[in-house]
Amino acid sequence: MKSLFYKFYHHTMLGNILRFSYHNILNRSPSKIYTKHRYRRKTGKALNLTNPKDLNEKINWLKLYDRSPLHTQCADKYAVREYVSEKIGERYLVPLYFHTKDPKKIIPENINQIPCIIKTNHDSGGGIFVYQSEGNDWEQIQKELTDRLEINYYKKYREWQYKNIEPRIIVEKLLLDESGKIPMDYKIHCFNGRPEIIQIDLDRFSDHKRNLYDPNWNLLPFTWSVWENNKPLWDNGKQIPRPRNLEELINLAMALSSEFIYARIDFYELNECIYFGEITFHPGSGFETIHPEKWAKILGERLKLPKKI
């Protein structure tokens, strides 16, 4: 029965019309309705916004009701540099080589410090890695950046902080370890300015695993992941040694998250130097499964929401 419906919905003219109408209506709907619908589609559960209990419910509540110009600044990969400089100092910033609003300016004459990463400031995701001076298709890179600049990431999951960012292209130093790989990053989830979870993603471009630790570097007994075929896509990986500069990482995360109810602060560590990565306010847009489910509620209890914003 499901396969027949799928064929009708995706491979007939009437199905295409219905699918287009459905997405058109959904995209025009208010953010609360849109978010509730996406939450049910992603998790199979109704979203409780009246009295949110578990962590993902609270992240979605914050998505709708916790909005400020500072959220916009800190979601902007260019503007956040000023916030980081003020809070913890510019020495933690990855060197910025170039920035522009015009993709046609992404040419070898302007990109002369290599290796580097080219990315846009207003979305969520990776960038374009440039490892060497020769063999780069600059025309294709310009085309990809042009396409990215035209996207308003807010429309995907209604994460308000992306809505009013002025798009631009930034070129930063590409951090690489001695083996030529991107160094490990530490994603520190802060609840009401307190670090609660340290997330480590391993082998992201091959056999992706995800470890979750508490601030004392104890491995936590749950997964927080997209699920496929009734199991987490990113299960626990190999044990990671406690970083020597863990205390500094935690203190920096506390400083950067102090203005927010919830924020994930990302850092890279390379040759015992710490570099700021980004600030994320709604990881996975609040749709990734926490398992066992009791941990979603335990974590939800730790995150305190205001009665009114």
pLDDT in tens, 259-309: 999 999 999 999 989 999 999 999 999 999 999 999 999 999 999 999 866
Residues 290 and 198 placed together within one structural domain of the fold: yes
In this structure, is residue 83 part of a structural domain?
no
Residues 143 and 33 placed together within one structural domain of the fold: no
Predicted local confidence at residue 12, as pLDDT? 78
pLDDT per residue as tens digits for the range 81-90: 999 999 999 9
Residues 210 and 286 placed together within one structural domain of the fold: yes
pLDDT at 17 over 80: no
pLDDT at 229 over 80: no
pLDDT at 172 over 80: yes
The span from the CA of 278 to the CA of 162, in Å, is 14
Number of domains within the chain = 2
In this structure, is residue 9 part of a structural domain?
no
CB atoms within 10 A of CB 300: 20
Can you tell me the mean pLDDT for 110-124?
Answer: 95
Token pair, residue 131, equals 């490892």
pLDDT at 48 over 60: yes
The span from the CA of 78 to the CA of 119, in Å, is 10
Residues 140 and 241 placed together within one structural domain of the fold: no
pLDDT at 230 over 70: no
In this structure, is residue 170 part of a structural domain?
yes
Domain boundary among 175, 190, 222: 175
The span from the CA of 42 to the CA of 287, in Å, is 6
Sign of CA dihedral 66, 57, 202, 249: positive
Predicted local confidence at residue 29, as pLDDT? 83
Domain boundary among 175, 197, 229: 175
The span from the CA of 256 to the CA of 59, in Å, is 18
Q: How confident is the model at residue 134 (pLDDT cuts 50, 70, 90)?
A: very high
In this structure, is residue 202 part of a structural domain?
yes
Can you tell me the mean pLDDT for 172-201?
Answer: 95
Cβ pair 146, 268 in contact under 8 A:
no
The span from the CA of 164 to the CA of 72, in Å, is 7
Residues 212 and 291 placed together within one structural domain of the fold: yes
The span from the CA of 262 to the CA of 281, in Å, is 6
Q: How confident is the model at residue 142 (pLDDT cuts 50, 70, 90)?
A: very high
Bigger pLDDT: 206 vs 164: 164
Cis check for the bond before 283: say yes or no (omega within 30 of 0).
no
Residues 227 and 128 placed together within one structural domain of the fold: no
State the chain's mean pLDDT as an integer: 91
pLDDT at 173 over 60: yes
Residue entry with tokens 């993902």? 56
Residues 6+ apart with CB under 8 A from 57: 47, 48, 49, 286, 300
Q: 3-class DSSP state for residue 196?
A: strand
Global confidence as pTM: 0.90
Domain boundary among 175, 193, 227: 175
